[in-house]
Amino acid sequence: MSGIFGVASKKNASIDLFFGIDYHSHLGTRRGGMVVYGKDGFSRAIHNIENTPFRTKFEDDMESMQGGLGIGCISDYEPQPILVQSHLGTFAVATVSKINNMDELIKETYSTRSQFQVMSSEEVNATELVAWLINSKDSIAEGIQYAQEKVDGSLTLLVLTKEGIYAARDPLGRTPLQIGKKEDAYCASFESFAYVNLGYKDYSELGPGEIVFMTPDGIEQIRKPGNRMQICAFLWVYYGYPNSMYEGVSVEEMRYRNGAMIAMRDENRDELDYAAGVPDSGTAHAIGYANEAGIHFERPFIKYTPTWPRSFMPTNQSVREMIAKMKLVPVEHLIQNKSMVLIDDSIVRGTQLRDTIKYLYNSGAKKVHVRAACPPITFACKFLNFSRSRSVMDLITRRVIHDLEGDKDVEKLDDYSNPDHPCYRHMVAEICKRQGFDSLQFERLDDMIKAIGLPECNICTYCWNGKE
């Protein structure tokens, strides 16, 4: 994923920018970048943040990056923001995007004899491609709309010019973009909590496809929001920060409601000593469960954070799993001879959770009932740059369905996504057996949507039911 933040201030914006970007560090682990425009022109810094937090890497840049306008990002993929000079003047672009038709768009650019900078991986930088699309039009506002029309996937972005910042939310609102306001300044932010400690108050949340132009003096609407929204449901279930709100719905509160709904349908709740969550993303769901079931919330695992200050995520899956394991340290006295429900935000590959549960049994747990805070993931996301699953056969759900159905698996996905169908129950029982849990239940899609509280037609649920 990635996260973006921008500031338009009558004063120097760089401190707000520095902390505002840093508060998006949970959305990416590879690169951080910021661009500031001030009296000395544009200045940009991009650093690799894989082993060092954003703040440490950027604090030396702060003195030279002074100005009232700035944008920045945390990114799992390409270095950004991109700074370009063209017939539209000098401008910088930061994106949260997934571009499924990269190859097609790159061919289009080559047909006009354009060029891209070469990246070490020899891939074209996706944000540079967006800048090229913007450059194809006569104004930045037209260019942003054109880029959003051309991209198959999703595209939320900030464009910094000498006059102000364009903030544009994805046409279907898959990812959020919020505006904050304080005296003499506005900010645009993926995460709404990122500006609270900087003194900004909520000003507005951009609707799907809405574009605004932000200066220190105000917000001008360039394009009205569209009617159709498909905001990503996973924002609430997993990757959104607990303090954030999207579409007026608090992440933390949604997780409490979601956990409570899991408890309401749980046949094993009378035999539990306590409820626990896989830290950190399972925690709030487990609190909601415990409150509803009238049992304690306890922490049989606690994350060791002093030397793992951020979510370092190497590309190699087995190294990632090893690091995840090293971070989770058990509290053995809370495990021995106890029956617990353990809630994880979701089950993707299942390998890490299987090892965690095995560890609980080896440490003397009597029973471990596993609950997933969302339904079985059956489709790989094609709208966001999620590193969690690249192919459907990474998903434990799809592997099990394939083993049960062979080549007919794709035809039967509707049955396997329906919690009231025998195929679904068979699949859940099979996953439970393979994983070695005492019992397994997944949150139902209808309950999860109720926990979010928005109309179903406004929420993307493609991961779970394949519906667009």
Q: Which spans of this chain sit near ligand SF4 (rule: CB under 6 A)?
A: 174, 232-234, 381, 383-384, 386, 460-463
- Contacts for 362 with CB less than 8 Å, ≥ 6 apart: none
The residue among 109 and 461 lying less far from ligand SF4, judged by its C-beta, is 461
CA dihedral 128, 64, 56, 29 (to 10 degrees): -10
The residue among 294 and 455 lying less far from ligand SF4, judged by its C-beta, is 455
Would you call 80 helix, strand, or coil by DSSP?
coil
Q: Residue 87 has which token pair?
A: 């017939």
- Unique residue bearing structure tokens 């000395």: 40
d(CA 384, CA 467) in angstroms, rounded, equals 15
User: Minimum CB separation from ligand SF4 for residue 295, in Å?
Assistant: 30
CA dihedral 420, 426, 432, 435 (to 10 degrees): -130
Q: Residue 63 has which token pair?
A: 């003195």
| Beta-bridge mates of residue 38 | 41
Would you call 137 helix, strand, or coil by DSSP?
coil
User: Minimum CB separation from ligand SF4 for residue 8, in Å?
Assistant: 29
User: Minimum CB separation from ligand SF4 for residue 96, in Å?
Assistant: 12
Q: Residue 391 has which token pair?
A: 């192919």
The residue among 83 and 381 lying less far from ligand SF4, judged by its C-beta, is 381
HSE of 118 in the Cβ direction (CA atoms, 13 Å)? 2
CA dihedral 85, 86, 88, 91 (to 10 degrees): -20
User: Minimum CB separation from ligand SF4 for residue 382, in Å?
Assistant: 7
- Contacts for 49 with CB less than 8 Å, ≥ 6 apart: 25, 29, 30, 31, 32, 57, 74
The residue among 174 and 338 lying less far from ligand SF4, judged by its C-beta, is 174
Single-letter residue type at 72:
G
- Unique residue bearing structure tokens 């108050």: 201
Question: Cα 34–35–36 angle (5° rounding)?
Answer: 125
User: Minimum CB separation from ligand SF4 for residue 239, in Å?
Assistant: 8
Instruction: Tell me which H or E stretch contains 425.
Output: helix 422-435
The residue among 211 and 384 lying less far from ligand SF4, judged by its C-beta, is 384
d(CA 436, CA 418) in angstroms, rounded, equals 23
Would you call 149 helix, strand, or coil by DSSP?
helix
From the list 442, 397, 428, the residue with the least C-alpha distance to 262 is 442
The residue among 174 and 223 lying less far from ligand SF4, judged by its C-beta, is 174
The residue among 342 and 445 lying less far from ligand SF4, judged by its C-beta, is 445
Asked if residue 160 lies in contact with residue 6, where contact means CB atoms within 8 angstroms, the answer is yes
User: Minimum CB separation from ligand SF4 for residue 2, in Å?
Assistant: 14
User: Minimum CB separation from ligand SF4 for residue 374, in Å?
Assistant: 9
From the list 380, 389, 457, the residue with the least C-alpha distance to 413 is 380
User: Minimum CB separation from ligand SF4 for residue 447, in Å?
Assistant: 16
The residue among 283 and 461 lying less far from ligand SF4, judged by its C-beta, is 461
The residue among 175 and 435 lying less far from ligand SF4, judged by its C-beta, is 175
Single-letter residue type at 91:
F
User: Minimum CB separation from ligand SF4 for residue 237, in Å?
Assistant: 9
How many residues appear in the chain? 468
- Contacts for 169 with CB less than 8 Å, ≥ 6 apart: 156, 175, 176, 177, 206, 207, 208, 209, 210, 211, 225
The residue among 195 and 462 lying less far from ligand SF4, judged by its C-beta, is 462
The residue among 3 and 300 lying less far from ligand SF4, judged by its C-beta, is 3
User: Minimum CB separation from ligand SF4 for residue 142, in Å?
Assistant: 27
User: Minimum CB separation from ligand SF4 for residue 381, in Å?
Assistant: 3
